[in-house]
Structure 1
Amino acid sequence: MGKLLETINLHIPIIQAGMAGGITTPKLVAEVANAGALGTIGAGYMSASSLRNEIQAVKQLTDKPFAVNLFAANLESFSSDVAPMQHFLEKYRNELEIDPGKQSVKVYDYLQEKVYVVIEQDIPVVSTAFGVLSSVLIERLKKNDVKLIGMATNLDEANELVEAGYDIIVAQGFEAGGHRGTFDVNKYPNGCNVGLLSLVQEFLYNLDVPVVAAGGISNNGQIDALLRMGAAGVQLGTKFLVAKEAGTNSAYRRALMKASSVDTVITSAFSGRPARAVFNRFIQEVETSDCEILPFPIQNELTKDIRGAAKEFAVSEFQSLWAGQGVGSIVNEDPVVDILASLIGKDTEETDQLGLELDD
């Protein structure tokens, strides 16, 4: 644990996952950081200018270190071969009373520009998913004393990250919500589905860098057990989705609080990349149709307007309700400080002392 706390200057060995799509508001990230854990801006889909604005907004709320999460994969893509899927999706657009879908889609990538923003804004930690940053970008970040956290779902991926110069590896068990970091989804169409305990044990035995556990973690008992195993810390996403400071919309929040662990499935219906979500009508109908799901990020771009309208109109059946298998533990919406207090087994009024006690 000490290696993690020292490496990225934390008091509490907890990382708030970099959930893309507007969940990681400046208030959420700052409150996590102020409590002594690592808050993370989910910047995977952001433009460079949007990221700069988010960073500056967080800095207005905290002077503590926080991270930025980026997709290591190049999102730049174009397709005009989308007519069958767009035709299928029109029924949802009709129900939501929004405009028809376009017959071609273009997705832009801002990774290099976002790395420049990270350096310009003096961000101390970058985490990545879906692969390994290029050697050029890694060198650029390292020259500016940026610590790198990489998501891995098997030992081969973890070794690639370590060899490339990453400082900390997150072991993402198949229990994790949303998109896991599996590098090759052609080889692993549903993601590399290794359970968290086995994955952590394998990483601890084979790696010489701090290992952080992620996937279905929802309470203090699990965290204590993982730390006793030797994990340097834990990363949680689902638990923070219902934080009062999170950008999660009301229909999504209600769905999470009603769901149990058996209600999540791994699906590519929304994005074209396997991700764990609460099962709903959209998943059922897309996966049982004869229409081929397009690869990420094309499928993600095609469903973007539907997901956006569903958020606006509070229709959970058409939203990507990303959630890990620990979702059944969520019963209330709480402030970040209460969530962190519960995760480390302290009363809320004791949270000012959390970091000091864990550092001892």
Structure 2
Amino acid sequence: MSFLHDRLSIEKPIIQAGMAGGITTPELVSAIANTGALGTLGAGYMGASQLKEDIHKVKQLTDKPFAVNLFAVNLESYSNEIGNMQRFLNRFRNNLGIDAGADFVKVNDYLQEKIHVILEENIRVVSTAFGVLPASLVERLKENDVLLIGMATNLDEARELEESGYDAVVAQGYEAGGHRGTFDVGKYPNGSNIGLHVLLEEFLDHLEIPVVAAGGIHHKKQVDALLAMGAEAVQIGTRFLIAKEAGTNAAYRRALLKADTNSTKITKVFSGRPARAIRNKFVKEVEGSGLTPLPFPIQNQMTKDIRGAGKEFAIADMQSLWAGQGVGAIQEEETAVEIVESLTGNVNITEA
């Protein structure tokens, strides 16, 4: 495990997934980093100033390395062809007592500015989703000794990451919660749906760079098995949603603890990209409307106020309850330290 110890400078083979949207608080990231695992700030939807502020907060709480996760795609988008979906979504807004949606949607992109912050703050690890960073940004990061980790859901994507100069790839199985990293959702409308064990074996057989396993992992037995197969580490998201330090709101937490193995499905209704979430009223009604969700990130921006109200009013049925297939195994809230120790047995890489 020299990649983890010598290059990532971590002691435990656990990477906390870069879950965007406020889950990865500085408190969560730093707590995980302090255990010797790799914490990750999910910066996909952040502006540069918010990212800088969160990085400073993490640095106040730990002197250990941590990562920043970015979307590799350009989020800059505009659309005024949203009438049918917006009118349908206004039914939810009316019930929630919030303003009707606008006639157009505009999404800004801050990727260049966030790269500047990452370099300015001397962040050593960057992970990306939804594709490969532009060659100019890869070169800029590599020139500053930043390690790059990319999410992949099939071998073609993994090879593209490797050929572009990434240092490691995450084999992101079908079981994973939230958005998986599928590059081309035109080619794979519901994501590239390959189970983790098959995907990991294929990556290990065909790639030269280290491979990290992700998707439905929630127990030490799984961690041990995946490491025995040849994974350098595992990446975990859902289990950390219920960490006491996470930014997960109370209604979301209750839904996670109530869910079982059959509670999740892949849906586009919240963001326009396929993502695994716990079934709720919003999923059922939008999917049953006959309307096609707008492409990401337009649909994501359109539902943002509804999801925000669901969080504010503690209504789980109006939130995007991202969760992996292992959610049914989560029985209680724990600290980040307790979660990492339960997954590793409190053994460091150098002791294994």
Q: Which residue of 2 aligns with 1:350?
A: none
Please state how far the C-alpha of 1:345 moved relative to its aligned partner: 2.4
Structure 1 residues 197-216: aligned runs within 5 Å: 197-216=197-216
Q: Are 1:212 and 1:233, in contact at CA under 8 Å, matched by a contact in 2?
A: yes
Gaps of 5+ in 2: none
- Residue 60 of structure 1 aligns to a residue whose secondary structure is helix
Would the alpha carbon gap of residues 359 and 3 (structure 1) be closer, same or farther in structure 2, given more than 3 Å must change? farther
Question: Is 2:26 the partner of 1:26?
Answer: yes
Q: Which residue of 1 aligns with 2:323?
A: 323
Give 2:106's aligned amino acid: K
Quote the Cα distance in structure 2 between the aligned partners of 1:55 and 1:40: 10
Question: Is 2:58 the partner of 1:47?
Answer: no
Question: Is 2:273 the partner of 1:273?
Answer: yes
Q: Are 1:5 and 1:13, in contact at CA under 8 Å, matched by a contact in 2?
A: no
Q: Are 2:4 and 2:11, in contact at CA under 8 Å, matched by a contact in 1?
A: no
Q: Are 1:11 and 1:359, in contact at CA under 8 Å, matched by a contact in 2?
A: no
Please state how far the C-alpha of 1:292 moved relative to its aligned partner: 2.1
Q: Which residue of 2 aligns with 1:128?
A: 128
Quote the Cα distance in structure 2 between the aligned partners of 1:326 and 1:210: 24
- 1:235-281 per-residue CA deviation (whole Å, 9 max, x = no partner) reads 00000000000000000000000001111000000000000000011
Would the alpha carbon gap of residues 358 and 238 (structure 1) be closer, same or farther in structure 2, given more than 3 Å must change? farther
Please state how far the C-alpha of 1:135 moved relative to its aligned partner: 0.8
Question: Is 2:157 the partner of 1:157?
Answer: yes
Please state how far the C-alpha of 1:291 moved relative to its aligned partner: 1.8
- 1:208-234 per-residue CA deviation (whole Å, 9 max, x = no partner) reads 111000000000000000000010000
Please state how far the C-alpha of 1:358 moved relative to its aligned partner: 4.2
Q: Are 1:4 and 1:210, in contact at CA under 8 Å, matched by a contact in 2?
A: no
Structure 1 residues 290-305: aligned runs within 5 Å: 290-305=290-305
TM superposition score normalised by structure 2? 0.99
Question: Is 2:93 the partner of 1:93?
Answer: yes
Give 2:43's aligned amino acid: A
Cα RMSD, aligned residues only: 0.8
Quote the Cα distance in structure 1 between the aligned partners of 2:143 and 2:316: 44
Please state how far the C-alpha of 1:94 moved relative to its aligned partner: 1.0
- Residue 123 of structure 2 aligns to a residue whose secondary structure is coil
- Residue 261 of structure 1 aligns to a residue whose secondary structure is coil
Q: Which residue of 1 aligns with 2:283?
A: 283
Quote the Cα distance in structure 2 between the aligned partners of 1:287 and 1:185: 18
Structure 1 residues 345-360: aligned runs within 5 Å: 345-346=345-346, 354-355=347-348, 358-359=350-351
Please state how far the C-alpha of 1:288 moved relative to its aligned partner: 1.2
Quote the Cα distance in structure 2 between the aligned partners of 1:285 and 1:324: 22
Q: Which residue of 2 aligns with 1:186?
A: 186
- Residue 128 of structure 1 aligns to a residue whose secondary structure is strand
- Percent same amino acid among aligned pairs? 64
Q: Are 1:307 and 1:320, in contact at CA under 8 Å, matched by a contact in 2?
A: yes
Quote the Cα distance in structure 2 between the aligned partners of 1:190 and 1:305: 25
- 1:123-164 per-residue CA deviation (whole Å, 9 max, x = no partner) reads 000000000001100111011110000000000000000000
- Residue 262 of structure 1 aligns to a residue whose secondary structure is coil
Q: Count matched residues.
A: 352
Quote the Cα distance in structure 2 between the aligned partners of 1:82 and 1:6: 50
Q: Which residue of 2 aligns with 1:139?
A: 139
Runs of 4+ with >3 A deviation? 357-360
Q: Are 2:311 and 2:319, in contact at CA under 8 Å, matched by a contact in 1?
A: yes
Q: Which residue of 2 aligns with 1:247?
A: 247
TM superposition score normalised by structure 1? 0.97
Q: Are 2:177 and 2:238, in contact at CA under 8 Å, matched by a contact in 1?
A: yes
Q: Which residue of 2 aligns with 1:56?
A: 56
Q: Which residue of 2 aligns with 1:349?
A: none
Question: Is 2:340 the partner of 1:340?
Answer: yes
Quote the Cα distance in structure 2 between the aligned partners of 1:358 and 1:261: 35
Give 1:141's aligned amino acid: L
Quote the Cα distance in structure 1 between the aligned partners of 2:350 and 2:239: 21
Q: Are 1:86 and 1:302, in contact at CA under 8 Å, matched by a contact in 2?
A: yes
